[in-house]
């Protein structure tokens, strides 16, 4: 960050002396011979530190720095004054218009050290503002991300609820079918069985069917139908003499499911 210093004094010899003293520290130095000219320079340049004389015609240093505080509050303001002007300068310090003051004649080393300190103070303020802006930007981005996540969660929730309703309807339709439907996974276990299937294989309600091994609960004739994997109607006679028609469909055509579905219809011989 370039360090720009503004010197305001109506006496040319004072500003020249200050320039000779402070230019060795690498500052970009601007000069004004009145408060009005100083305000004009401030409107056109980014100034970090201001050194102003107190006794100037038209506008005193305290009045000038008071205006600077209102219009350019980030600047660090230093005033040069005599002992006779101490009361007005002290009041300006108490109001925050002036950071420090030095009496004439000033101590060169002390002034240089305080100007360096003033720039450090200004740069720290600028850095804090930069970090604050970045933090605000990060918070805004985080809020946007959270908002997007909330929208996605709501969308996924609606999708899940929709799918759940479809599943409930499908389950209700499956339970109401007049034929038996049995789904067997690739592990050989019964994964789907509607009410008609349970009634067909456990007429007294003494079994679960779901989760059981298909080979253990289904008649051999139906297991043979399953092994054929034919979607065409197959006729079989169960061990108790009941005549059935069955259709077998492999799963996975429209989903990630594996195994097969068998539809069984009992009819009178």
Chain segment 214-236, per-residue pLDDT in tens? 888 888 888 887 777 666 778 87
According to CATH, where is 3.40.50.2300 located in the chain?
Answer: 4-132
Contact (Cβ atoms closer than 8 angstroms) between residue 8 and residue 60: no
Question: Global pTM?
Answer: 0.59
Write down the pLDDT at residue 130.
93
Quote the CATH superfamily of domain 177-267.
PAS domain (3.30.450.20)
Question: Does position 1 have pLDDT exceeding 60, yes or no?
Answer: yes
Contact (Cβ atoms closer than 8 angstroms) between residue 111 and residue 85: no
Rounded CA-CA distance 33/12 in Å is: 8
For residues 227, 229, 232 and 237, what is the CA-based torsion angle, rounded to 10 degrees? 20
Question: Does position 205 have pLDDT exceeding 70, yes or no?
Answer: no
Q: How far is CA 164 from the centre of its chain?
A: 31
According to CATH, where is 3.30.450.20 located in the chain?
Answer: 177-267
Closest CA to 238 of 196, 210, 259, 267: 267
The CATH number of the structural domain formed by 4-132 is 3.40.50.2300
């Amino acid at each position: 960050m370039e360090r720009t210093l503004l010197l305001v004094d109506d006496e040319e010899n004072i500003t020249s002396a200050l320039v000779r003293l402070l230019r060795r520290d690498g500052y970009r130095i601007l000069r004004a011979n009145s408060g009005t000219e100083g305000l004009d320079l401030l409107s056109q340049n980014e100034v970090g530190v201001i050194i102003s004389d107190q006794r100037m015609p038209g506008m005193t240093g305290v009045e000038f720095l008071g205006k600077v505080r209102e219009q350019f509050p980030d600047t660090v303001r230093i005033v040069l004054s005599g002992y006779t002007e101490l009361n007005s300068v002290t009041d300006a310090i108490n109001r925050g218009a002036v950071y420090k003051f030095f009496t004439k004649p000033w101590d060169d080393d002390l002034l240089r050290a305080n100007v360096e300190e003033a720039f450090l103070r200004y740069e720290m303020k600028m850095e804090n503002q930069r970090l604050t802006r970045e933090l605000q930007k990060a918070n805004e981005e985080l809020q946007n991300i959270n908002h997007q996540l909330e929208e996605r969660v709501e969308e996924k929730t609606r999708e899940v609820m929709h799918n759940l309703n479809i599943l409930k309807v499908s389950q209700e339709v499956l339970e109401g079918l007049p034929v038996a439907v049995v789904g067997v996974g690739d592990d050989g276990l019964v994964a789907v069985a509607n009410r008609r299937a349970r009634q067909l294989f456990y007429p007294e309600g003494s079994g679960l069917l779901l989760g059981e091994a298909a080979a253990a609960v289904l008649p051999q004739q139906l297991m043979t139908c399953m092994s054929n994997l034919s979607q065409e109607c197959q006729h079989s006679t169960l061990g108790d003499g009941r005549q059935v028609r069955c259709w077998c469909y492999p799963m996975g055509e429209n989903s990630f499911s594996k195994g097969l579905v068998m539809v069984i219809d009992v009819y009178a011989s």
